[in-house]
Copies of this chain bind each other. A is one copy, B any other.
């Protein structure tokens, strides 16, 4: 057995069964080991941002890590933006990067770079293997770091010569630590705060958006009449019919005041004290008003499910009582012009049961969250780290994790173009992903920012740098070029028809929705 085989065996024995890869010369022994040792499915991405974003989507849906396989510093660099998103989502990822042979590293060869330095900003754990016999143990440590609650990016760098060198067998995996239960004093403090009805809010995020935790949250809301609010960008949230109704924290600070009007106490569970995406002039960075009392019931690395259940039990609310769960009541199929409103309604009307909705719609998806409240039950994945180009790769990984579920990528056009190579992987792997491109042909959020900054009439440079219409991208051709069947919808009727067709047919599809 060589080092590469001990890597694959250890990873496989630790439950890893997918490798999102774009290998190069320095990773070829690992590629060969993927044939020598069975059990891990290699999935090729034609750009590393596809691999890392897919690992994020896979980890969110499977609840366990995939591994990546990336080529040296530049390969890692190409995957960093989506590792940033995975870090913010607290997704478990075992991020494997090859390095030059140890003897070669003393020379300044063209591809040499400081891989550990590049990995550190996005990784909870970084190690470079130094001994082939220890690679199995390194992998076991990487998996342990990745699955440590709630989930982390663990980067393991393996020089090429160690991959080929003789190695001992697979290393056993230590049992990952269970998330600690929060102290009873915090449960008591949360209870005190929540017993004030509408003037208190329970703010859920991270693992508190999973089904069981959300149901406990709904029991609490049912018993106390507190507000139930979710962080702006949950990594994974169960939604639609049968799930609790949860308001969403808006994006702009000036919208928060309206939503939280009258709220005096906020109990955080799985969510951090929310911070605005940007530090806008004159607006606070902390999104909760100064006068609001903040109580932390459980952080995302703690057992948020147990904490919520403890609060709910203290309120003596038997499971199921006082629950306000959404009924299945999707909007009718929309008519009229195709815009962000009717597009969201079309998705909500047609959404199949147990779909996974990946939302990187940016300004086009503001209306999607409310529209899906009473749609068929589904899982929502959002852009946790703000690094655009996450949606198509994330949908790809989610589809690999959940082959029996439809995946819908609700995708802004400007963001989607960052990692459009994901479409090819969807075609190769015959994944049931339906991509809806929200084609407004602008970086609309930037045009909004210009307006907010008082730039009523942007000059030529500002127009040129925020406008994607000269020339217009043709997503039907782009998708076809990647092997994904595609159609364009310029009206609602076509949109509904194409969406129904895409969802009915196996394999990936793309619909370019032309929006105003």
B-binding residues in A (CB < 8 A): 21, 23-26, 28-29, 31-32, 34-36, 42, 44, 46-47, 49, 73-75, 77-78, 80-81, 84, 88, 100-101, 103-111, 113-114, 117-118, 120-122, 160-161, 164, 233, 272, 275-281, 285-286, 384-389, 414, 417-418, 421, 424, 427-428, 445-446, 449-450, 453, 455, 458-462, 464-466, 468, 470-478, 480-483
Contacts and interface: CB of A to CB of B under 8 A. Distances in A.
A74 B81 contact: yes
A120 B46 CA distance: 27
A110 B77 contact: no
Contact of A32 (B49, B387, B453, B475): B453
Contact of A28 (B74, B75, B446): B446
B101 A44 contact: no
21 contacts: A23-B465, A24-B446, A28-B449, A28-B450, A34-B459, A35-B462, A42-B461, A74-B385, A75-B81, A77-B84, A78-B78, A106-B285, A107-B286, A109-B279, A111-B385, A114-B120, A160-B278, A424-B473, A427-B471, A475-B481, A477-B477
Given A23-B446, A118-B118, 16 more contacts: A25-B445, A31-B462, A32-B458, A36-B459, A47-B389, A47-B418, A77-B387, A78-B389, A80-B80, A101-B281, A111-B385, A113-B122, A117-B121, A424-B471, A427-B471, A477-B478
Contact of A34 (B24, B80, B461): B461
Nearest to A232: B110
A424 B35 CA distance: 39
A277 to B, nearest CB: 6
Contact of A385 (B110, B279, B477): B110
Contacts of A483: 471-474
A73 B84 contact: yes
Contacts of A109: 275-279, 285
B477 A108 contact: no
Contact of A414 (B46, B88, B121, B387): B46
A35 B28 CA distance: 50
Q: Which of A80, A101, A474 has the most CB of B within 10 A?
A: A80
A384 B110 contact: yes
A31 B470 CA distance: 18
Contacts of A281: 101, 161, 164
Contacts of A414: 46
Nearest to A44: B465
A42 B450 CA distance: 17
A421 B31 CA distance: 29
Contacts of A388: 74
Contacts of A117: 117, 120-121
Contacts of A460: 35
A80 B84 contact: no
B74 A386 contact: yes
A101 B481 contact: no
Contacts of A481: 473-478, 481
Contacts of A121: 73, 113-114, 117-118
A280 B107 CA distance: 13
A449 B30 CA distance: 13
Given A28-B446, A84-B74, A468-B46, A275 B473 contact: no
Contacts of A105: 279
A253 to B, nearest CB: 11
Contacts of A28: 446, 449-450, 453
A187 to B, nearest CB: 25
Most buried by B among A279, A281, A428, A475: A279
A28 B451 CA distance: 11
Most buried by B among A74, A101, A105, A471: A74
Nearest to A463: B35
A205 to B, nearest CB: 12
Contacts of A468: 46
Contacts of A421: 417-418
A424 to B, nearest CB: 7
A47 to B, nearest CB: 5
A21 B463 CA distance: 13
